[in-house]
A and B are shown apart, each in its own frame.
Chain A
Amino acid sequence: MDNKAEYLSSQGRALLNRRDFLRQSGMTLGGIALTQLLAQDGLLAADEITVSGKTPIRPHIDPDNPYLPRGSHFPSEAKQVLVIYCPGAVSHVDTFDYKPELAKFHGQKPPGIPEVTFEGPTGNIAKPFWDFKPRGKSGKMVSDLLPNLGGMVDEFSFFHSLHTQTSAHPQGENFFNTGFTMEGFPSFGGWVTYALGTENQDLPAFVAINDPRGLARSGKNNFGNGFLPAAYQGTDFNAKNPPANLARPDKYTDRDDKAAVDLLNRLNSKHLELFPGDADLAARIASYELAGKMQVSVPDVMDLAGVPESIHKEYGTDTGTDLKREYAKNCILARRLVEKGVRVVQLFNGSDPSGGNGITNWDSHSDILKTHAMQAEIMDQPTAALIADLKRRGLLDHTLVVWATEFGRMPFLQANGTGRDHNPDAFTCFLAGAGVKKGFSYGESDEFGFKAAVDPVSVYDFNATILHLMGLDHERLTYYHNGLERRLTNVHGHVVNQVLA
């Protein structure tokens, strides 16, 4: 056994040392089993074959606890990531991507505008529905639609030349969040928790905070595990709704619960004697312990009663529409989760089209003036407060913030004359926080914001970049599935080094 351990990496030896439980319950066999399991990381013949020719880096996952923190591929400032996702497609030309040419061509249909886009026939160019002003020290032009986020531009790195592969929302959400337009691939958060585990063992490694109105159009895909083990799916809850089955049934008392769990542990320990050192059995025993901790810590983190009034005010939980108040609470929850070391927090600002009272997400095929304004009222203040709060608490030093949407909107109107159709060829997202340049903009769309023009950035590039910021090589973070070493970035993607601080 001891000489076997020599073959382990230092990480592997560290794992062995921590396994007190197994030491007590059959150290020798347990040690052997673990040694072998670690060796199995490289068991498949397929392991060494990737399309890019790079060797996969397999996370060393403790069979006892798949969530224990693991090292990144290379050192990085960002240890955690907060993704603020805006389903429905935010109009870049009405928010962050200033295009004075639109005013010049307002009401005209210059050549080059297609007859039909996603939703049907096209209309004329329309100038931004909100005025743009220079903001912050950098003087970045941001429209009056998002004054609070506008006030923080000095923290952000904008990507103005993003382009995607589809102009349909669910495929766009799939593509942005899983790297594929099709169904069934692991989400970004799934990949990150698979690679890195998490720091706080009492809370889920990956939390999806869904919009008060419900899930976004791709539903669980956005935070699912795809073909990764179920351990890496996001746990969804928000300030209002706890995770399913977290609380013990009302009918039971604490005493019932304790008696049942104690008995369970007794039965399991006895059973383990028949299979000394069996890692799968031990892992399942450990999972009940983790569950018990989550039952305490999740309600605790959800409970905003102790949050000072000033913070509530700053986030805006007490002003504006009900939806905004709800979303503001989700933002406070997001900050608390980050603070407690949750590896990935994905916060949604919008649902599928059935959710709310008239406005469900950023989709604005008609009357964009009204629909974008309603959505911005919900998003702007709480999101800005969240980022500011993270900064104030020093959390931005090790947290990457991603603000994203699946595509942009057209610089021209639809034939109805009031809305903008989907634009897959140019849109804007931004990054902030750990490892990211401040007050910076990368890439440009053309003079109308119609297509990415200077330094185009694909969604693959964007995802490669955020993985890089998390210390992960997007070409080596792979998982063998059905004949291929699958990646978040498929066989594409280049890190945009220019935005790295």
Chain B
Amino acid sequence: MRYLSLILALVAVPHVAAVDFEQDILPIFEENCFSCHGPRKQKGELRVDSRAHLLRGGDSGIPSLIPGNPTESYLVELLKDSDPDFRMPFEEAPLASAQIALIEEWIAEGGEMPGQMDAVLEEEETSDHWSFQPVERPEVPKIDGAGPIDAFLLEAMSDKGLTPNPAADARSLIRRASIVLTGLPPVPERVAAFERDFGANPESAYESLVDELMSSPHFGERWAQHWLDVIRWAETNGSESNLYRKNAWVYRDYVTQAFNEDKPYDQFVREQIAGDSLNEGEAMGFLVSGSHVPPQSVGREPTAIRQARADRMDEIMQTVGASMMGMTMGCARCHNHKFDPITITDYYSMTGVFQDIEFGGRRPELAEEHPKRKAAQPLWRAIADQRRILETTGGPWEEDWGGYKELLFDAVTTKKVRVSFLTRNMKLDEIEIFGTEERQKNLAAASNGAVASGPEEMFGDVRTRFWYVNDGEYGAFGLQLKAQEESEEKPWFEIAFDQPEEINRIRLSSNREYYFETDYQTINIDFAFSSYRVEVENENGEWIEIASIPKIEKANENQPGRAAAIAEIAKATETLSTVGPQVSFIGRFVEPVVTRVLSRGSPENPRNEVPPAAPLILNGDLGLDSRAPGPARRLKFAHWIASEHNPLTSRVMVNRIWHHIFGMGIVPTTSDFGEAGALPSHPELLDWLAAEFVDPTVMGDRAWSMKSMIRMIVLSDAFKRSSSPSKEGLLADAGASLLWRFPPRRVEAEVIRDGILLASGSMDPSIGGKGYRIHNVKKTYAQWEVVDNHGPHTWRRMLYQERMRRVDDKMFTAFDFPDCGQVRAKRPVSTTPLQALNLLNSPFVREQAEQLANRVVQESSPSDMKQQIRRSFQLILNREPDADELAACQEVAKETSLAQVCRSLINSNEFAFLP
């Protein structure tokens, strides 16, 4: 809710204007606008009889009246709009052009409204929505023998006259806890041991089981999968070419490790937003987890290019908003949020925080003690040493960095650089020029004021342009030049800086994007240029050569020391690219531009400048302006989110944890804590958990500890309850949202696949690293095809199956495995015949059923069919068959094979449901 109060100051301001409001304008408003935007009704929060309202604007978030500026005044734009969905008066004939002209003139003269000239709309930026209120720890109901969680739950149950179920049996409990905590069912030996210990002392047996499961490295894998779903992380771009994102998986490993190490949640949040400042660059894969359209598929229209950038920013907004804030920020992209007190200004201010992020790859910033950084250090030293040798031998040299070539030369100050090629054809996607002042600043970038030019008659493709070579986009559209027929003149181009710069390095590349950022493409990524010369213009306008490849080559021939040094550098760069921090798809940095509100969400309608900030309703002023450097923006924002005073952060995360444990959140809409989201089923419990998360009293001694929070919840009686139905319970609360029973649910695709591999003994349990591939190598504009989704190379946990956006894996996509297109706070659970077919007939299940049967035979006495069937039940269902089952299975095994029995067990409901 936004509270408005109108403060009127009745001061008459004498002024002479050609258009008189009361005589000329008010009648137009009265006749055409008042029925919706007048004293009685204010559709879209706008009333046109109030100057203060006009100055503020309605739900569009754009001022309707900007005195003296009719063109920018939204009122005029709407009166003239050609789109009937927007034009005012709505669904009526447009105003006469004379009337519109009159209004324009009135605004041009200052838009005066007598008696209202000092009226201000005071907006009190507060909200009474529950989730925006500070978290205050509620008192725990006093119930004997119940911990805080159970006390809250039991109180709610007793209000409804519900009796909770008794505790689950040992076998259900260990299966449930193992799957919830690690995503893997327990092995039979552990079940047997647990049943034994549980018989002696249920409490201690269960507690030590939980501790064991939570210290397993598989714990992090399970919980990483949940987080990756929420942010729809994937290893391809989506869109037309759906390119593979090289080394994006380092982010997946970061998340797994964060859970395994019990990284405090506030730190987890900060690193994902501002990992570059915190030596955790890999964590920033978070920001670029959404899909994006790479520049070459956007097209060449400037409007489309701007739109694509705005779409990428929106993906970032969705990621941050949904996962950490529980807010649907995207709703405020085109107008003020319809349900929540988030304005269009808030939205664009928040995009300002992320202005320095672009989808792409970079070498991650890592802590000094990180093994990759340690491995890289001697190599960087070696390169520096060799460079010193080269400097002393004199003259420029060229290094090959795989994706680009770097030319190094003595520093020289100039306003213009010319690159001339000694071949008749050339193609460059980008040139970068660096100097000695700010070593990382690309002086050739158009965003730094540099301009590219050259001979247009040499365009090698009608679509090429000089500015493509310094537009900051790798691999998109390149500069392609071709010598004209019967002409001796070879291709060349110039870069002009807007002021003299001292320069000493030039980087040239033909397709850096494909080299560093993608893989599994059939495309040729070789350099499309070879020999060239570089000249600079001196103060007298003369061109001075500073480097030439033929001369460099000659110098290398003549001075063996140079050749050796260059070879050493090549060796070091090569090694660096395998053992050092590699370019990974975790985002790259661009120069932040001034952020503006985009009216109706369109980049073609930029409005007022906004500072980088979080939503104002949540005290989001970060004290920044448009000059703030990108990393500082994100770091401040990260601290704002990860603050214990932020009312959303802890609530959203404890609710998410709850959701993954019980299959439903205390707030069912886990990524929407706004007005349109659902209300908490147990508001006090939620707040108690949120308070406990940041200020632990009983869960442990570490603030923001996700492990402590998870542990506390799974140790509750609620988690340990039997899932059996009861008539009373179903009548009062069929969905078990009050947790009178543990709600049974179908397990996720991963649990099915991993569980099969574990049972058959095929699973490779290794943690992390590059994922396994089930797809082909393809042409850029082609669809990924499943080549092998079942062979031995795929026998790892499904977390490591390369996550491909909107590609059917022909197996588990049918089990609601997300397409990674939109954020997925929770997976839907559907039941379809395609699932049945996949689980009955796929090569994966057929092979695993056979593996399982072989394993069982090996582990039992070969002729004892009963024993074999018992072992199959233990491995798949963690229990013994009863007499009926044993007999039925024996019959089938005899009639067909043991593998058919295993196939049935793999398909059984019992295997697919959390007990």
Q: Is the CB of B821 within 8 A of A182?
A: yes
B753 to chain A, nearest CB (A): 14
Query: At the interface, yes or no: A103 with Cβ under 8 Å from chain B?
Result: no
Query: At the interface, yes or no: B896 with Cβ under 8 Å from chain A?
Result: yes
B808 to chain A, nearest CB (A): 6
Query: At the interface, yes or no: B878 with Cβ under 8 Å from chain A?
Result: no
**Residue of B whose beta carbon sits closest to that of A278:** B725
Contacts of A416 in B (CB 8 A): 462
Query: At the interface, yes or no: A496 with Cβ under 8 Å from chain B?
Result: no
Q: Is the CB of B806 within 8 A of A184?
A: yes
Query: At the interface, yes or no: A281 with Cβ under 8 Å from chain B?
Result: yes
Q: Is the CB of A36 within 8 A of B824?
A: no
B791 to chain A, nearest CB (A): 15
Contacts of B840 in A (CB 8 A): 245, 248, 260-261, 288, 291
Residue from A220, A235, A260, A295 whose CB has the most chain B CB atoms within 10 Å:
A260
Contacts known (A119-B300, A243-B837); A271 close to B908, Cβ less than 8 A: yes
Q: Is the CB of A284 within 8 A of B821?
A: no
Interface size class of A (residues with CB under 8 A): 35 or more
Query: At the interface, yes or no: A244 with Cβ under 8 Å from chain B?
Result: yes
A50 to chain B, nearest CB (A): 9
From the candidates A219, A231, A291, name the one contacting B807 in the complex (CB within 8 A). Answer: A219
Contacts of B805 in A (CB 8 A): 183
Query: At the interface, yes or no: A501 with Cβ under 8 Å from chain B?
Result: no
Complex alpha-carbon distance, A304 and B240, angstroms: 34
Number of B positions contacting A (CB below 8 A): 104
Q: Is the CB of A280 within 8 A of B892?
A: no
Query: At the interface, yes or no: B353 with Cβ under 8 Å from chain A?
Result: no
Stretch from B8-16, B556-564, B825-833 that touches the partner: B825-833
Contacts known (A217-B240, A415-B462); A263 close to B744, Cβ less than 8 A: no
Q: Is the CB of B841 within 8 A of A263?
A: no
Query: At the interface, yes or no: B184 with Cβ under 8 Å from chain A?
Result: no
The contact string, 1 if C-beta is below 8 Å from chain B, for chain A 241-284, is 00111111101110110011111101110111011111011011
B296 to chain A, nearest CB (A): 10
Q: Is the CB of B905 within 8 A of A230?
A: no
Contacts of A121 in B (CB 8 A): 462-463
Query: At the interface, yes or no: A358 with Cβ under 8 Å from chain B?
Result: no
Contacts of A224 in B (CB 8 A): 806, 819
Query: At the interface, yes or no: A305 with Cβ under 8 Å from chain B?
Result: no
Contacts of A283 in B (CB 8 A): 831
Contacts of B671 in A (CB 8 A): 482-483
The contact string, 1 if C-beta is below 8 Å from chain A, for chain B 830-861, is 11111111101111001000000000000000
Q: Is the CB of B727 within 8 A of A32?
A: yes
The contact string, 1 if C-beta is below 8 Å from chain A, for chain B 884-915, is 11001100100111001101110111101100
Contacts known (A51-B338, A231-B832); A354 close to B300, Cβ less than 8 A: no
The contact string, 1 if C-beta is below 8 Å from chain B, for chain A 104-128, is 0000000000001111110000000
Interface residues of A in 19-50 (CB under 8 A from B): 28-29, 32-33, 35-37, 39-40, 43-46, 49
Contacts of B242 in A (CB 8 A): 219
Query: At the interface, yes or no: A226 with Cβ under 8 Å from chain B?
Result: yes
Q: Is the CB of B806 within 8 A of A33?
A: no
Query: At the interface, yes or no: A12 with Cβ under 8 Å from chain B?
Result: no
Q: Is the CB of A280 within 8 A of B913?
A: yes
Complex alpha-carbon distance, A169 and B828, angstroms: 29
Query: At the interface, yes or no: A11 with Cβ under 8 Å from chain B?
Result: no
Query: At the interface, yes or no: B730 with Cβ under 8 Å from chain A?
Result: yes
Stretch from B403-411, B626-634, B774-782 that touches the partner: B774-782
Contacts known (A352-B783, A353-B781); A119 close to B836, Cβ less than 8 A: no
From the candidates B678, B731, B904, B909, name the one contacting A272 in the complex (CB within 8 A). Answer: B909
Query: At the interface, yes or no: B238 with Cβ under 8 Å from chain A?
Result: yes
Query: At the interface, yes or no: A214 with Cβ under 8 Å from chain B?
Result: yes
A41 to chain B, nearest CB (A): 12
From the candidates A116, A243, A246, A484, name the one contacting B331 in the complex (CB within 8 A). Answer: A484
Q: Is the CB of B909 within 8 A of A285?
A: yes
The contact string, 1 if C-beta is below 8 Å from chain A, for chain B 300-341, is 111010010001000100000010000110010000001100
Complex alpha-carbon distance, A448 and B302, angstroms: 23
**Residue of B whose beta carbon sits closest to that of A492:** B85
Q: How many A-B residue pairs have CB under 8 A?
A: 312
Q: Is the CB of B463 within 8 A of A119?
A: yes
Contacts of A117 in B (CB 8 A): 300-301
Q: Is the CB of A44 within 8 A of B831?
A: no
Complex alpha-carbon distance, A228 and B731, angstroms: 28
Q: Is the CB of A46 within 8 A of B677?
A: yes
B325 to chain A, nearest CB (A): 11
From the candidates B307, B735, B833, name the one contacting A290 in the complex (CB within 8 A). Answer: B833
Q: Is the CB of B725 within 8 A of A167?
A: no
Complex alpha-carbon distance, A116 and B679, angstroms: 51
Contacts known (A170-B297, A260-B896); A37 close to B734, Cβ less than 8 A: yes
Contacts of A248 in B (CB 8 A): 840-841
Q: Is the CB of A167 within 8 A of B304?
A: yes
Query: At the interface, yes or no: B810 with Cβ under 8 Å from chain A?
Result: yes
Query: At the interface, yes or no: B762 with Cβ under 8 Å from chain A?
Result: no
Contacts of A236 in B (CB 8 A): 808
Contacts known (A230-B828, A295-B837); A275 close to B725, Cβ less than 8 A: yes
Contacts known (A243-B837, A260-B896, A276-B725); A483 close to B912, Cβ less than 8 A: no
Q: Is the CB of B678 within 8 A of A220?
A: no
Query: At the interface, yes or no: B820 with Cβ under 8 Å from chain A?
Result: yes
A61 to chain B, nearest CB (A): 10
Residue from A171, A270, A353 whose CB has the most chain B CB atoms within 10 Å:
A171
Q: Is the CB of B238 within 8 A of A183?
A: yes
Query: At the interface, yes or no: A166 with Cβ under 8 Å from chain B?
Result: yes
Query: At the interface, yes or no: B232 with Cβ under 8 Å from chain A?
Result: yes
Interface residues of A in 142-189 (CB under 8 A from B): 166-171, 181-185
Q: Is the CB of B833 within 8 A of A287?
A: yes
Contacts of B842 in A (CB 8 A): 244-245
Complex alpha-carbon distance, A119 and B297, angstroms: 10
Q: Is the CB of B837 within 8 A of A263?
A: no
Complex alpha-carbon distance, A293 and B833, angstroms: 9
A497 to chain B, nearest CB (A): 15
Contacts of A33 in B (CB 8 A): 725, 730, 734
Complex alpha-carbon distance, A416 and B824, angstroms: 45
Query: At the interface, yes or no: B646 with Cβ under 8 Å from chain A?
Result: no
The contact string, 1 if C-beta is below 8 Å from chain B, for chain A 450-476, is 000000000000000000000000000
Q: Is the CB of A185 within 8 A of B821?
A: yes
Contacts known (A219-B242, A267-B885, A352-B782); A120 close to B463, Cβ less than 8 A: yes
Contacts of A291 in B (CB 8 A): 833-834, 836-837, 840
Contacts of B835 in A (CB 8 A): 230, 287
Query: At the interface, yes or no: A229 with Cβ under 8 Å from chain B?
Result: yes
Residues on A close to B: CB < 8 A? 4, 28-29, 32-33, 35-37, 39-40, 43-46, 49, 51, 66, 116-121, 166-171, 181-185, 204, 214-215, 217-221, 224-233, 235-236, 243-249, 251-253, 255-256, 259-264, 266-268, 270-272, 274-278, 280-281, 283-288, 290-291, 293-295, 352-355, 414-416, 422, 480-484, 492
Question: Can you give 26 A-B contacts (C-beta < 8 A)?
Answer: A29-B725, A29-B727, A39-B734, A46-B672, A167-B304, A183-B805, A183-B822, A184-B821, A218-B806, A220-B808, A230-B813, A230-B830, A231-B832, A245-B834, A251-B846, A260-B896, A260-B904, A260-B907, A278-B744, A284-B912, A352-B782, A352-B783, A415-B462, A482-B825, A483-B327, A483-B328
Given contacts A267-B904, A268-B910, 5 further A-B contacts (CB under 8 A): A29-B727, A46-B676, A120-B462, A221-B806, A288-B833
Closest 9 CB pairs of A and B: A184-B821, A36-B734, A483-B328, A120-B463, A354-B782, A229-B830, A184-B822, A183-B821, A291-B836
Residues on B close to A: CB < 8 A? 85, 232, 238-240, 242, 291, 293, 297-302, 304, 307, 311, 315, 322, 327-328, 331, 338-339, 462-463, 668-669, 671-672, 674-679, 723-725, 727, 730-731, 734-735, 744-746, 778-779, 781-783, 805-808, 810-811, 813-816, 819-825, 828-838, 840-843, 846, 884-885, 888-889, 892, 895-897, 900-901, 903-905, 907-910, 912-913
